[in-house]
Amino acid sequence: MLAGKVALVTGASRGIGKGIAMRLGKAGATVFITGRPPKTQERGLARMLQLPTLEETAEEITHVGGKGIAIYCDHSKDDEVKEAFEHIAHDTDDRLDILVNNAYSAVTTITRLAGVKFYKTDVKIFDEVNRVGLRNHYLCSIYAARLMDKRHEGLIVTVSSGGGLRYLFNTAYGVGKSACDRLAADMAHDLYDSNIASVSLWPGPVKTELVKKTVLKEGGGANKEDQRVGRSHYKDVNSHRRSAERAADHHNIISLFDNGESVDFAGKCVVALATDPNIMKKTGHVLTTTGLAKEYGLFEDDGVTQPNDPLLKGFEDYIAVCNKIRSPGPDFH
């Protein structure tokens, strides 16, 4: 389906990023993936929780039928982001068909501060939460659009969440996610004449590797050395259960994740979008995995289950109205 296409998925060593990259690879694409060079402490955490590395993910992408290429990149550093895109342009003769803005570095921060009032935190928290999750998406989209414009086609998917619509975790998180949705919509206006689609994608609760280990308490333990090296990080991520419960109001966070999407379902959605000949009709829109599952007939690997995010219940019409207002279709132009 995507043979000959070139994709970049940022923040793809594990989690949703890995799931999307794997599905793009399975569809035949060449997939560049980025991730930070792991520190000793982070390596200890990864071993302890049995999390995949960037190189392992690239190898898996190649194994399923694509071509996986790992690029170490700290997305909080503009020069490293520029170098990553120069690497891609050099290797592909200036070709990039798909960008998935997924890199995010504040998972530990937002869970640790879930439910904490904004005026009881330092302003630096806002930058910590949104520098990679928002500003970097803007920067990556600039470089991607310059490459896509040369071929007059492309797709930019910005991974966001329902936290842009209703309170989730904390104020800095919600503001950032709402801005991601607006970023995708406003970029769609600038890119419309270049035939480049820009959408925002909302996965529901996802059973990532980290969620399985820390929230759902699946899997085994770790040896003493791994525990020693990863202890401080593990202490933070293991607070996910307690912090998320405080921020989720009456929703049972454990139940939400236990019934959540698989780590690669968002990838099925991205492949469907990338192969949709009418994708420009969706440009500027907020798209949910729940809605795309129904539209494209997508299921989990059991062939039966479709995502049904309970946090979206009652908001479908509101999202549709927002999409109509923000859409840069022919009526707008």
CA distance 219 to 49: 8
| Whether the predicted pLDDT of 207 surpasses 70 | no
> 24 and 99 in contact (C-beta within 8 Å)?
no
192 found inside a domain: yes
> 244 and 215 in contact (C-beta within 8 Å)?
yes
Closest CA to 64 of 279, 275, 304, 267: 267
The mean pLDDT of 58-74, rounded to a whole number, is 98
CA distance 57 to 128: 26
1 found inside a domain: no
333 found inside a domain: no
The mean pLDDT of 111-115, rounded to a whole number, is 87
Q: How confident is the model at residue 205 (pLDDT cuts 50, 70, 90)?
A: confident
The mean pLDDT of 120-127, rounded to a whole number, is 96
Q: What is the dihedral of CA 279, 283, 288, 289, to 10 degrees?
A: 30
Which tokens in the block code for residue 152? 């007059």
Tell me the residue type at 312: L
DSSP assignment string, 140-202: HHHHHHHHHTTTT-EEEEEE--GGGTS--S-HHHHHHHHHHHHHHHHHHHHHGGGTEEEEEEE
169 found inside a domain: yes
Q: How many domains does the chain have?
A: 1
Q: How far apart are the first and last CA of the chain?
A: 32
332 found inside a domain: no
From the candidates 104, 173, 192, 234, give the one annotated as an active-site residue. 173
Which tokens in the block code for residue 184? 């995708």
DSSP 113: T
**Residues comprising the chain, all counted:** 333
Q: How confident is the model at residue 231 (pLDDT cuts 50, 70, 90)?
A: very low
> 207 and 263 in contact (C-beta within 8 Å)?
yes
Buried b (16+ CB within 10 A) or exposed e, 159-193: bbbbbbbeebbbbbbbbbbbbbbbbbbebbbebbe
pLDDT digits (tens, 9 = 90+) for 268-313: 999 999 999 999 999 999 999 999 999 999 998 888 888 887 778 7
144 found inside a domain: yes
User: Which of the given ranges, 32-41, 71-80, 315-324, has the highest pLDDT on average?
Assistant: 71-80
59 found inside a domain: yes
Q: The domain that contains 101 carries what CATH number?
A: 3.40.50.720
Look up 167 and say whether it is catalytic. Answer: no
pLDDT digits (tens, 9 = 90+) for 138-197: 999 999 999 999 999 999 999 999 989 989 889 999 999 999 999 999 999 999 999 999
26 found inside a domain: yes
Domain residues for the domain of 108 are 6-326
Rg (Cα) of the chain, in Å, rounded? 19
- Compare 330 and 3 and report the one with higher pLDDT: 3
Q: How confident is the model at residue 314 (pLDDT cuts 50, 70, 90)?
A: confident
